[in-house]
Amino acid sequence: MSPFDLLIRHFGSQRQLAVAVGVTPQSVTAWRRHIPAARVLEIERLCDGAVSRHQMRPDIFGAPPPPPPNAA
């Protein structure tokens, strides 16, 4: 599933994502290919990290960091 699809699933619809971010639903539709870099950190905060900046824009933020080692 793409990061865009994960966001839609998290927020419930493109319209609800648009309302949360404060943009038009048409703007969100344009994000299918690339979520704007200027919006990534705000979106990550709004979804409580359910979709990370690394997932949304690996070209900018790189791959997700490895999980911390299990505490023994």
CA dihedral 36, 39, 52, 34 (to 10 degrees): -10
Domains of the chain: 3-61 (1.10.260.40)
Helix (H, G, I), strand (E, B) or coil at 51: coil
Q: Please tell me the pTM assigned to this model.
A: 0.86
Residue 72 has pLDDT above 70, yes or no: no
Give the Å distances, CA to CA, from 29 to 15, 26, 32, 60, 61. Answer: 9, 5, 6, 21, 22
Question: Is residue 35 a contact partner of residue 43, using CB atoms and an 8 Å limit?
Answer: yes
Residue 41's pLDDT band, with cuts at 50, 70 and 90, is very high
How far is CA 58 from its chain centroid?
Answer: 11
